Amino acid sequence: MPVKVVIPTPLRQYTGKKDSVEIEARTVGEALAGLTSRYSDLRKHLYNEEGKLRSFVNVYVNDEDIRFLQRDQTPLTETDVISIVPSIAGGSMIRCICS
Amino acid sequence: MAIQLNAQQLQSIRSHAEREYPNECCGVLLGRADGAVKEVSEVVPLKNLRLDSARAQELLPLEDPGRESEKNRFLIDPLEQMMVEKDARSRELDVLGYYHSHPDHPARPSIYDRDHAWPWYSYIILSVERGKAAEMTSWVLSEDRAHFDPELMKP
Ligand SMILES: [Zn+2]
């Protein structure tokens, strides 16, 4: 069963410019695994070295954060839309790292 | 790439930052990217979720809440951001980047900025000195995530 995954602008360079991708999956975990195996360059931006989703990557099924559903195990139906939403955070402090 | 903002858009960033001083402000830049230039068509101020510390802590915990606060950190609510992005897409606009202020700090990215940055987006930083808008700069994360490169801001 294909579900739609919406790709945010900064990650489209790794999905051949596509702004959404159809993936065969029954759970969120399967959808993300399918996505990163098709587009392997996406992996380093979504997962850390331990293979966990980075803390500033948010995944939504429709309008629900998977952290408040069943995370990777969240079941999907055909009409579900998965969105990858980067947390935007930052701040001023001390050391400058400009090039 | 370069990013293009008109005088009115620059002014709305400055006013937002002065209004929020001494806290950090943040917002999103919408528009269209064609080849070499990101052309901004809308500057949308967003809420700094750090001001709602319980919810912010749940979404992206601060490592050292004693030294980090809404004064030197910002966080955009991902749900609000998703709504803005959806609305932008329906009008055939894209998110081109984000802006935030550095109250009483230079307009240079911090390590924290880098560790939470995404490739391709423009990160505009506005320094606010004693309540007055000062230098404004724009930055893009390098491909290896190691540093930011300065980005040209065009009128
Ligand atoms: Zn910053």
ipTM: 0.72
Ligand 1 geometric centre to CA of A92 (Å): 4
CATH number of residue A48's parent domain? 3.10.20.30
What B145-148 contacts at long range (C-beta under 8 Å, 24+ apart), as own/partner pairs, is B145/B114, B145/B117, B145/B119, B147/A97, B147/A98, B147/A99, B147/B114, B148/A97, B148/A98, B148/A99, B148/B109, B148/B113, B148/B114, B148/B117, B148/B123
Cα A44 to middle of ligand 1, angstroms: 23
Taking CB atoms and an 8 Å limit, are A97 and B109 in contact across chains?
A: yes
Q: Is residue A16 part of a domain?
A: yes
pLDDT of residue A99: 36
**What pLDDT, in 10s, does the model give residues B115-142?**
888 889 999 999 999 999 999 999 999 8
Confidence bin at B67 (pLDDT 50/70/90): low
Q: Is residue A96 part of a domain?
A: no
Range of the domain at B84: 2-154
Q: How many domains does chain B have?
A: 1
Asked if A68 reaches chain B (Cβ–Cβ under 8 Å), the answer is no
A34, two tokens: 């399918």
Residue A91 lies in a domain: no
| pLDDT tens digits for range A14-31 | 999 998 999 999 999 999
Residue with tokens 């307009």: B107
Amino acid at B21: Y
Question: pTM value?
Answer: 0.85
**Domain limits for position A22:** 2-86
d(CA A46, CA B146): 16
The verdict on residue A17 lying in a domain is yes
